[in-house]
């Protein structure tokens, strides 16, 4: 099926899939690993292992439930985040989140030992299990061991082991897998995880900044910082952080989407077009085509803008913003009849849209742009919702 056609139908079909028991494509839940070191200050390591496994699997195309999904499952079952779960609770959590597989486990840290001619560094041992809920089977134990300071490297290898169990046919070689995920300093990892766990927004930002400063190649805190500054409408700062998100990061396309919005809001329409094109090439979502069309319209590429607004309308004709944007570029091109048709369509879907009413009147009168209309260019309507997960879910279903 062509990508554009798949993008145009994903919302309605995905919604049906999500409501139908047993029809979802297989997804994986990773539970934070339990701390068996009797040292609560090390609890962050269990969260780090889970985050690393989620990112490693998601970046290789595996459908993985994210941290927000997991916390919602804890809430539904009245489980306390951070507590060690029983085997029965792990099964319930997987079922309530409709996961096909659950990865869980524990870790132990042996403290550093000094004395003699040399000093032994603190060591880490990770033990993991994979539970197959569809076939009620528990896979063999697997794990990693080494120096605690090599936590990121150990997590990467654990991720590769997990991937070879879940998708053995498509898993890259271990060397290729490692190459895409360079080692990260342990203090940077700790700050990043503490940022994720922090409830206070200022503390979250502090930890993410520390993580990014400690290791400039660490992609994940850059994404979080981009979202932080985006939410504050500090678009130049946000774009700078989004630009540092690596291609191997599962949030790369989402970072490009928001970077496109940032570039658009700061008036760099050529850069916005490039960012949205990057996303559209991999994830043909209606909102991406719409935003790409808006960037192209502002950049002066009206023909391309019309083509992409049409894709958005074809994908979701019920959205009044898509209809309005297409009508607007037709109006700017002097195609008043086509513009009027789209403005009418926008008003059918949003009768109280005063701007669409005014534009319909001008299109019907054949009235083009005036010198005082320069502000109209800012009225193109962008979308800020990004639904990649729903698209991936549908894509996986159609391949079954």
Rg (CA), the chain: 24
Q: How does 305-323 read in b/e, with b if 16+ C-beta sit within 10 Å?
A: bbebbebbbbbbeebbbbb
pLDDT per residue over 53-80, tens digit each?
A: 999 999 998 999 999 999 999 999 999 9
Long-range pairs for 270-275: beta carbons < 8 A, 24 or more residues apart = 270/295, 270/299, 272/298, 272/299, 273/299, 273/301
On whether residue 89 sits in a domain, the answer given is: yes
Point out which residues pair with 128 in neighbouring strands.
105, 142
> If DSSP codes are grouped into helix, strand and coil, which group holds residue 29?
strand
pLDDT number for residue 375: 58
Tell whether the model's pLDDT for residue 100 goes beyond 50: yes
Against a cut of 0.85, is the pTM above it? Answer: yes
Sign of torsion over alpha carbons 20, 25, 26, 30: negative
Q: What is the CATH number of the domain that holds 89?
A: 3.40.50.10070
In a domain, 40, yes or no: yes
Q: Contact 195/176 with Cβ under 8 angstroms?
A: no
- Exposed, middle or buried, 123 (CB in 10 Å: 0-12/13-18/19+)? middle
* Distance in angstroms (rounded) separating the CA atoms of residues 87 and 305: 54
Average of per-residue pLDDT across 221-243: 97
Least confident range from 20-24, 127-131, 388-392: namely 20-24
Please indicate, yes or no, if residue 196 is contained in any of the structural domains. Answer: no
Provide the pLDDT for residue 24: 52
54 exposed, middle or buried (CB, 10 Å; 0-12, 13-18, 19+)?
buried
Q: Is residue 273 scored above 90 in pLDDT?
A: yes
- Host domain of residue 72: 31-111+122-183
Mean pLDDT value of segment 323-335:
95
The four Cα atoms 249, 97, 91, 140 give a dihedral, to 10 degrees, of -30
How many domains are there within the chain?
A: 1
- Residues 107-129 have a mean pLDDT of 79
Instruction: With a cut of 90, say whether residue 368 has pLDDT above it.
Output: no
Cβ(170)–Cβ(140) under 8 Å? Answer: no
pLDDT of residue 336 exceeding 80, the answer is: yes
pLDDT tens profile 339-362: 999 999 999 999 999 999 999 999
Task: Give the three-state DSSP class for 194.
Answer: helix
Would residue 147 count as lying in a domain? yes
Contact 229, 202 (CB under 8 A): no
Place of tokens 């009508």: 327
- Domain presence at residue 398: no
Residues 336-341: contacts with CB within 8 Å, 24+ apart? 336/363, 336/364, 336/366, 337/363, 339/363, 340/364
Stronger pLDDT, 149 or 10, i.e. the higher one: 149
How many CB atoms lie under 10 A from the CB of residue 400? 7
Task: Return the percentage of the chain with pLDDT > 90, whole number.
Answer: 80
For every residue of 261-317, DSSP letters joined together read HHHHHTT-HHHHHHHHHHHHHH---HHHHHHHHHHHHHHT-HHHHHHHHHHHHHH-T
On whether residue 168 sits in a domain, the answer given is yes
Residue 70 lies in a domain: yes
User: Which of the residue ranges 24-33, 219-228, 302-311 would you say has the lowest mean pLDDT?
Assistant: 24-33
**Count of CB atoms within 10 A of residue 296's CB?**
25
Q: Strand 101-110 and strand 142-147: pairing?
A: unpaired
Q: Give a yes or no: residue 74 inside a domain.
A: yes
């Amino acid at each position: 099926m062509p990508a554009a056609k798949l993008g145009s139908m994903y919302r309605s079909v995905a919604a049906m899939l999500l409501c139908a028991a047993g029809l979802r494509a297989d997804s994986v839940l990773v539970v934070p690993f339990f701390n068996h070191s009797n040292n609560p200050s090390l609890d962050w390591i269990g969260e780090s292992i889970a985050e690393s496994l989620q990112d490693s699997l998601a970046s290789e195309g595996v459908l993985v439930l994210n941290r927000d999904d997991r916390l919602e499952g804890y809430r539904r079952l009245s489980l306390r985040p951070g507590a060690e779960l029983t085997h029965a609770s792990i099964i319930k959590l997987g079922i309530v989140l409709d996961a096909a597989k659950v990865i869980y486990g524990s870790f132990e840290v042996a403290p550093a030992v000094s004395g003699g001619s040399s000093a032994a560094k603190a060591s880490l041992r990770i033990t993991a299990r994979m539970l197959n809920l569809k076939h009620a089977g528990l896979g063999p134990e697997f794990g990693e061991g080494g120096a605690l300071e090599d936590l990121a490297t150990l997590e990467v290898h654990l991720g590769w082991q997990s991937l070879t169990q879940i998708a053995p046919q498509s898993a890259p070689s271990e060397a290729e897998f490692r190459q895409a995920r360079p080692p990260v300093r342990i203090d940077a990892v700790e700050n990043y995880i503490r940022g994720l766990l922090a409830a206070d927004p200022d503390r979250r930002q502090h930890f993410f900044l520390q993580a990014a400063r400690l290791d400039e190649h660490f992609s994940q805190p850059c994404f979080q910082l981009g979202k932080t500054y985006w939410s504050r409408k500090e678009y130049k700062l946000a774009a700078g952080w989004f630009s540092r998100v690596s291609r191997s990061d599962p949030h790369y396309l989402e970072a490009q989407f928001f970077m496109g919005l940032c570039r658009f809001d700061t008036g760099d329409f050529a850069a916005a077009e490039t960012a949205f094109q990057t996303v559209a090439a991999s994830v043909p979502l209606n909102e991406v085509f719409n935003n790409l069309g808006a960037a192209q319209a502002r950049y002066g590429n009206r023909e391309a803008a019309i083509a992409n607004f049409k894709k958005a309308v074809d994908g979701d004709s019920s959205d009044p913003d898509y209809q309005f944007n297409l009508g607007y570029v037709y109006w700017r091109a002097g195609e008043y009849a086509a513009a009027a048709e789209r403005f009418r369509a926008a008003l059918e879907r949003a009768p109280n849209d005063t701007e669409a009413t005014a534009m319909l009147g001008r299109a019907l009168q054949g009235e083009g742009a005036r010198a005082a209309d320069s502000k109209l260019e800012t009225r193109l309507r962008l979308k800020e919702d990004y639904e990649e997960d729903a698209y991936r879910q549908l894509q996986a279903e159609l391949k079954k």
